[in-house]
Amino acid sequence: MKISLSSPLLRQYAVVVIVNLSIFTTGISLAWPSPILVKLNDPEQTPLSRPITAEEGSWIVSVGFLCATFTIILFARLLDIIGRRYCLLMMFVPKILIGLLYTFASELWMLILGRLVMNSIDCYVLVIVPVYASELASKEHRGVLGTLLQVFASLGELVTLSIGPFVSYKSFNIIFTCLIAATVIPTVLFLPDSPSFLYSKGRKEKSLNVLTHLRGDPMKAAKEIEEYNLATQNQERVKIASLLKDRVFRKSLALASLVAVGTQLIGFNAVTFYLQTIFISTNTNVRSEIASVIIGVIQVVSSMLTHIVISSRFSRKTILTASLSTMCAGMVGLGVFFKVTEPEDYIISRFMNYLPLICLIVVISSYIAGIGSLVWLVIGELFEDSARAFGVSFSLTGTVGLIFLTSKYFPLVTSSLGPPATYWIFSGLNVLLITLIALFLPETKGKSFNEIQKALGRKMEDDKAENIS
C-alpha cells in the first residue's frame, strides 16, 4: 500500500505513535527492576548504604501495583472530565520527578516511594492509551494501530534490558529521566484530543474537524458523528449510578475482566520482572546480561510481528489461542528444566545450557505476539463510547491487584512449591484461559463499536425503529 504524506492512514499512525510515546517510557519503567535489583543486591553497585534483602526487593517490584489497585478507579473519571489528552499530559510531571528521585536515591524508602508513585502512573497510562488510541483510529485500522501499544512497551523494555545491565545505577536513571522529558514535546505540540470526547462535551464542530483530518473524507467523518449521536441516545443506560444494572455492560465487563485478569494468571509478568534474577538462578553458562538483551530484542520483534499478523485474515480469537498454546509449551519446558536439574550433583551442559533461554524466548515472544498485544485492544473494543473509560479502568483494577500478588509473591511461591511446580501451574492456567476465550469471547475484528455492542446484545435506536415499523 502506498502512503503519501497526505494519507489519512499516515495521519492516524502519526497521532497513535505520539500517544504511545508515554507507553515507551512505561515499558522502561516496568522492566526497571530486572537490572536494578541486581545492582541493589551488589555491595559495589548499590547507591544504598547496604545491599537489599529479597523481601525488600519484592516490595520494590510490587508496591506500586498495590497502590494502583485503588487509584485507577479514582482517576478513571478524569478521562471523561478533562479528556484523554490532558490526562496523558498530566502524567508526565510526576514521572519526571520520580525519575529524579530514582537518580539521587540513597535510602530504601526513597526507592519504595518512587516505585509506588511511578507504577501507579504506569497503570493509569495503560488505561488512557488504549481508550485514546481506539478513538483516534478508524475501525478498519483499529486492530493494527492498537497493537502499537505493545510495540512501544517492548521498545521501552529493550532500552532497560540492553542498557541497564551495562551502565551504573545513576547513569541508567539519568537516561530514563531524559527520555521521559523528551517524549513530552511531541505530545504537547501535535496531539489532538479524542473526537469522541470532544463530541461528548458538545464540541461537535471540533470533533468533526478532527475526524475529517484523520479520516481524510468528510463523508466518513460525518458517518462517525452519526454513530456518536446514536451512542449518545443510548447513554442514559450507562450513567455511572446505574452502570452495573445494565446487562450488556455487565457482559462487556465480565469479558474484559476475563481477558485482563487472565493475562496476569499465566505468569508473564512474574517471569519478566525477575528476568535477570531467573537467568542467574539457572546456573547455566549463558551470561544473564546477554540473555536479557536477547529477550528484549525478541520482545520487539514479536510485537512487530503482531502488527503484521493483526492486519491479515486471522481473527482476534485465533491469534489469542495460538499465542496462549505456545506460551503454555514454554512454561512446561521451564518446569522440565528445573525438575531435571534439581539434583545437586547434576552438571548442566550442552543443550541444557540453552533450554531456559529457549523456553523464555518462547514464553515471552508468544505472549507479546498475541495476547500481550491484543489485550489492550480487545478490552477497549468491548465497551461503547460513554462507558469505555469507566469499563476499561474497572476491568484493569483486578488485573493490577494480580500484578501485585504475582510480582510480590512469585519468589515466595517458587521457593515454597519449587520452580517446576510453579511453571507447571502457569501452564495449566494457560490452558484454562484458552478454553474460556474460545467459549465466551466474541470476535471484534473489523467491527465498529456499535456493531460490537449489537453482537453483545444491545438494542440500538435504529433497531427499535425497525422493529416498530
DSSP codes joined into one string, 169-227 = HHHHHHHHHHHHHHHHHHHHHHPPPPHHHHHHTT-HHHHHHHHHHHHS-HHHHHHHHHH
Q: How large is the average pLDDT for residues 436-441?
A: 88
Q: How large is the average pLDDT for residues 229-250?
A: 67
Q: How confident is the model at residue 32 (pLDDT cuts 50, 70, 90)?
A: very high
State residue 400's pLDDT score.
82
Q: Is the pLDDT of residue 320 over 80?
A: yes
Question: Chain-wide mean pLDDT for the chain?
Answer: 84
- Nearest Cα residue to 169 out of 269, 99, 257, 242: 99
Residue 130 CA to residue 303 CA, distance in Å, equals: 16
Q: How confident is the model at residue 177 (pLDDT cuts 50, 70, 90)?
A: very high
HSE-CB at 157 with a 13 A cutoff on CA atoms is: 30
Are the CB atoms for 378 and 321 separated by under 8 Å? no
Q: Roughly how many angstroms between the first and final C-alpha of the chain, as a whole number?
A: 44
Residue 128 CA to residue 167 CA, distance in Å, equals: 32
CA angle 304, 147, 12 (to 5 degrees): 105
Q: Is the pLDDT of residue 108 over 90?
A: yes
Q: How confident is the model at residue 234 (pLDDT cuts 50, 70, 90)?
A: low
Q: Find cell 465487563 and name the residue.
A: 253
Q: Is the pLDDT of residue 364 over 60?
A: yes
Q: Which residue has the higher pLDDT, 40 or 61?
A: 40
CA angle 16, 19, 25 (to 5 degrees): 130
State residue 137's pLDDT score.
86
State residue 325's pLDDT score.
94
Q: Which residue has the higher pLDDT, 353 or 123?
A: 123
Q: How large is the average pLDDT for residues 399-405?
A: 81
Q: How confident is the model at residue 174 (pLDDT cuts 50, 70, 90)?
A: very high
Q: How large is the average pLDDT for residues 72-84?
A: 83
Q: Find cell 467459549 and name the residue.
A: 439
Q: State the burial class of residue 353 (Cβ atoms within 10 Å of its Cβ: 0-12, 13-18, 19+).
A: middle
State residue 355's pLDDT score.
85
> Does pTM top 0.85 for this prediction?
no
Q: How confident is the model at residue 85 (pLDDT cuts 50, 70, 90)?
A: very high
State residue 235's pLDDT score.
52
Residue 392 CA to residue 128 CA, distance in Å, equals: 9
Q: Which residue has the higher pLDDT, 264 or 234?
A: 264
State residue 464's pLDDT score.
47
Residue 100 CA to residue 177 CA, distance in Å, equals: 7
CA angle 410, 415, 416 (to 5 degrees): 100
Residue 37 CA to residue 60 CA, distance in Å, equals: 9
**Per-domain boundaries in the chain:** 9-193+244-457, 206-236
**Dihedral (C-alpha) 321, 326, 328, 331: value to the nearest 10 degrees?**
-150
Q: Which residue has the higher pLDDT, 230 or 260?
A: 260
Q: How large is the average pLDDT for residues 87-114?
A: 95
Q: Which CATH superfamily is domain 9-193+244-457 in?
A: MFS general substrate transporter like domains (1.20.1250.20)
248 SS3 class: helix
- Nearest Cα residue to 26 out of 97, 124, 104: 124
